[in-house]
Amino acid sequence: MSFDRSSAGDPARSLELLWRAPAAPRRGPRQRLDVDRVVAVAVALADAEGLDAVTMRRVAQQLGVVPMTLYTYVPGKAELLDLMLDTAYLRMPRTDTAGRPWRARLSAVAEENRALFEAHPWAAAISTGRPPLGPGMMAKYEHELSALDGLGLDDVEMDAALTFLLTFVQANARSAAEARAARRDSAMDEEQWWAANAPLLERVLDPRAYPTAARVGTAAGSAHGAAYSPAHAWEFGLGRVLDGLAVLVEGRGDAARNGTP
Residue range(s) of every CATH 1.10.357.10 domain in the chain: 95-258
pLDDT band at 15 (very low <50, low <70, confident <90, very high): very high
Average pLDDT over residues 48-72: 96
Per the model's pLDDT, the better-predicted residue between 105 and 203 turns out to be: 105
What percent of the chain is modeled with pLDDT above 90?
Answer: 74
Tell me the pLDDT band of 253, cut-offs 50, 70 and 90: low
Q: Which residue has the higher pLDDT, 13 or 256?
A: 13
Residue 202: per-residue pLDDT: 81
Average pLDDT rounded to a whole number, residues 191-200: 76
Q: What residue spans in the chain does CATH classification 1.10.10.60 cover?
A: 11-89
pLDDT in tens, 102-146: 999 999 999 999 999 999 999 999 999 999 999 999 999 999 999
Tell me what pLDDT residue 251 has: 87
- Residues 11-89, CATH architecture: Orthogonal Bundle (1.10)
Summarised one tens digit per residue, pLDDT across range 70-104 is: 999 999 999 999 999 999 999 999 999 999 999 99
pTM across the whole model: 0.89
Q: What is the pLDDT of residue 227?
A: 81
Cβ-contact 198, 225 below 8 angstroms: no
pLDDT range class, residue 224, cuts 50, 70, 90: confident
The CATH number of 95-258, from 1.10.150.20, 3.40.50.300, 1.10.357.10, 3.30.470.10, is 1.10.357.10
Average pLDDT, rounded, for the chain: 90
In the predicted model, is pLDDT for residue 61 greater than 90? yes
In this model, does residue 244 exceed pLDDT 80? yes
- Rounded to an integer, the average pLDDT of 203-223 is 89
pLDDT of residue 1 exceeding 50, the answer is no
pLDDT on residue 189? 78
The per-residue pLDDT for 197 is 75
Q: Are 186 and 130 in contact (CB under 8 A)?
A: no
